[in-house]
Amino acid sequence: MTSIQRRLFVVLLAATGVIWLSAAVWIQSSTRSELDRVLDNRLAEAARMVGSLVDEDGLQLNAAMDLAAPALPGETAHSYARQLSCQVWGLDGTRLAASSQAPQAALSGSEQGFSEREVEGLVWRVYTHVDETRGIRVMVGDSLQIRERLLTDMVMGLMWPTLLILPLLAAAIWISLGRGLSPLRRIAEQLTRRGADDLAALEAETPREVAPMVAALNGLFGRVQAARRREQDFTAYAAHELKTPLAGLKMQAEVARLAPDAATRDHALAQIRRAVDRSDRLVHQLLDMAAVDQGAEDGSPRSLAEVCAEVVDLTAPAARARGVTLRQTCDDRLAAQPHPAPGLLIAALRNLVENALHASPEGGSVELELRADGDGWRAEVRDEGPGIADADRARITERFHRGEGRGAGRAEGSGLGLAIVETAAAQMGARFTLERRQPRGELARLSFAAPPAA
The predicted-structure confidence for 368-412, as pLDDT tens digits, reads as follows 999 998 889 999 999 998 888 888 787 787 766 666 555 444 445
Selection from 225, 165, 163 nearest residue 199 by Cα? 225
Mean pLDDT of the chain: 81
Q: What is the pLDDT of residue 307?
A: 92
Q: What is the pLDDT of residue 295?
A: 62
Q: Distance between CA atoms of 395 and 434, rounded to whole angstroms?
A: 12
Q: Distance between CA atoms of 196 and 291, rounded to whole angstroms?
A: 26
The yes-or-no verdict on residue 312 having pLDDT over 80 is: yes
Three-class SS of residue 44? helix
Q: Where are the alpha helices (DSSP H) in 182-261?
A: 182-193, 211-257
Residue % of the chain over a pLDDT of 70: 85
Residue 131's pLDDT band (boundaries 50, 70, 90)?
confident
Give the amino acid at 66.
Answer: D
Three-class SS of residue 397? coil
Distances (CA, A) of 257 to 33, 260, 265, 273, 369: 116, 9, 8, 15, 46
How is 46-100 classified by DSSP, letter by letter? HHHHHHHTS-TT-PPPPSEE--PPP---HHHHHHHHHH-EEEEEETTS-EEEEET
Taking the complete model, does pTM exceed 0.75, yes or no?
Answer: no
Q: Distance between CA atoms of 398 and 229, rounded to whole angstroms?
A: 13
Q: Which of 264-278, 371-385, 409-423 has the lowest mean pLDDT?
A: 409-423
Mean pLDDT of 158-186: 85
Residue 294's pLDDT band (boundaries 50, 70, 90)?
low
